[in-house]
Structure 1
Amino acid sequence: MPQLNPNPWFFIMLLSWSVFSLILQPKLLSFTPTKLPLNKTHMTPKTSPWTWPWT
């Protein structure tokens, strides 16, 4: 069965991953986002104890 022969498919997989890792990934990571995240202060929510009706 040709599906079980890894000889051509392994080379294709290695080639595609190397193209992605060496060529496409640096090009994609070089883009700057259009909206930079804002520096917001982290606020902790006010918590109040729960009043259980049966106690």
Structure 2
Amino acid sequence: MPQLNPSPWLAILIFSWLILLTVLPLKLMPHTFPDAPSPEALEALMMQPWAWPWF
């Protein structure tokens, strides 16, 4: 049964992982995410503590 011969399949697996690990990060890293918080937005989110009525 040729499926049990690991020689060609192991090479295909290694080369496909090498391609995925080298090409995909180069394609994904230049993209910026529009929902990244800015420092000004983080300062505006400072909220006052809740005044509990029973405390």
**Partner residue in 2 for 1:22:** 22
Residue identity in the other structure for 2:6: P
Q: Greater share of helix residues, 1 or 2? A: 2
**Partner residue in 2 for 1:36:** 36
Q: Deviation digits for residues 13-54 of structure 1, max 9, x if unmatched?
A: 11111111111222112211121146455xxxxxxxxxxxxx
TM-score, normalised on structure 1?
A: 0.56
Residue identity in the other structure for 2:30: S
SS of corresponding position for 2:3: helix
Gaps of 5+ in 2: 47-55
Structure 1 runs (4+) deviating above 4 angstroms are none
**Partner residue in 2 for 1:5:** 5
Q: Alignment RMSD, CA only? A: 2.7
Gaps of 5+ in 1: 42-55
